[in-house]
Amino acid sequence: MKFNRRARLDPSQVSDQRGRRPAGRTAAAGGGIGVVIIALIALLTGTNPADVLGSGDAPAIQAEPGSEGELERECQTVADIDENADCRFVLYVNSAQAFWEDYFAAAGEQYSPAQTTFFTSSVTTRCGTASSQVGPFYCPGDQNVYLDLGFFDQLRTTYGGPSGQFAEAYVLAHEYGHHVQNLTGQMQRVRTQSGPDSDAVRLELQADCYAGMWAHHATTADDGSGQPLITELTQQDIADALAAANTVGDDYIQERFQGTVTPESWTHGSSDQRQQWFTTGLETGDIAACDTFAASTL
């Protein structure tokens, strides 16, 4: 993946709350394999992580000193990624939102931007208070994507995921797919919560397809002045996204951490399905091809 160093970044789309601690009770769970599996239930989903994990006291995690406000000061252009690697996440957010803004406009609709919030330890949202153990998530109540950047180290080490940067971009694009589902009413179509053909799985696979749509158009999403943010995607980038999709498949997770696969409990779809629907969006770039709710087979 190649970035355009001349393009400007918009850090106002990201709220950096690292170094803050929310008041009150937080959603958390005990340690061990149970946390790993429970966390993946909320991974890359629009569900309420507090509902998944319940309430409790989050473990004390040292907040990163001096992080508050750094993105606003240090992430002005793509070239700033050289000095502050976190600026690349601002780029991913800017690129995804620029794409969807253009896509909505072409359809005669107006896109409502979503904020991405970086946090450590735990965060309070309109969907509840969540520990960083839940992984990245989207809260439809406040139209916000929440992300502890430490998740990506866990994705590589605990889940055996890829190390390439485009895996990071895939995760954020998936979460913005949930935002689009919220804006277009797709989230309201969910009636069944688990199972290989459930509405919950269809929602997740559609968000994967939307992530693929963004990847299809990624080199055309610009900074608002005509400068593209991303100038090239390689086959290795696509391979990294597919590897990430494989790693968060329900069957992969269950086999890795439980030793058995139980499709009736699936909430996100199998690795093959997640890769298939990301590829559908990537190859077509067309939202009509992403109607998982109308698909006879997933």
Q: Is the pLDDT of residue 294 over 70?
A: yes
Q: Is the pLDDT of residue 212 over 60?
A: yes
pLDDT class for 132, splitting at 50, 70, 90? confident
| Least confident among 102-116, 145-159, 274-288 | 145-159
DSSP 82-103: GT-TTHHHHHHHHHHHHHHHHH
- Residue 62 tokens, joined: 């040292």
3-state secondary structure at position 183: helix
Rounded CA separation 298/296 (Å): 7
The reported pLDDT for the residue numbered 21 is 53
The reported pLDDT for the residue numbered 58 is 33
Q: Is the pLDDT of residue 10 over 60?
A: yes
**Tokens 């629009």 found at:** 46
Q: Determine contact, residues 219/230, Cβ cutoff 8 Å.
A: yes
E strand or H helix at 127, and its extent? Answer: none
Structural domain boundaries, residue 193: 2-294
H-type alpha helices, the chain: 33-42, 49-53, 70-74, 87-106, 151-157, 165-184, 199-217, 235-247, 250-257, 271-284
The reported pLDDT for the residue numbered 20 is 61
pLDDT tens digits along 133-147: 888 999 999 999 999
pLDDT tens digits along 27-70: 322 222 223 333 444 444 344 344 443 333 333 333 333 344 68
Q: Is the pLDDT of residue 110 over 70?
A: yes
Distances, alpha carbon 140 to alpha carbons 145, 146, 169, 179, in Å: 9, 11, 20, 7
pLDDT tens digits along 157-166: 988 999 999 9
Indicate the average pLDDT of the chain: 86
The reported pLDDT for the residue numbered 79 is 97
The sign of the dihedral angle between the CA atoms of 197, 199, 205, 209 is: positive
* CA-based radius of gyration for the chain: 18
Rounded CA separation 44/96 (Å): 15
The reported pLDDT for the residue numbered 195 is 96
| Least confident among 5-19, 54-68, 80-94 | 54-68
pLDDT tens digits along 238-276: 999 999 999 999 999 999 999 999 999 999 999 999 999
The reported pLDDT for the residue numbered 31 is 26
Q: Between residues 282 and 43, which one has the greater pLDDT?
A: 282
Structurally, how many domains does the chain consist of? 1
The reported pLDDT for the residue numbered 70 is 81
The reported pLDDT for the residue numbered 80 is 97
- Residue 197 tokens, joined: 């053909």
Average pLDDT, integer, range 63-80: 74
The reported pLDDT for the residue numbered 121 is 86
pLDDT class for 14, splitting at 50, 70, 90? very high
Q: Is the pLDDT of residue 1 over 90?
A: yes
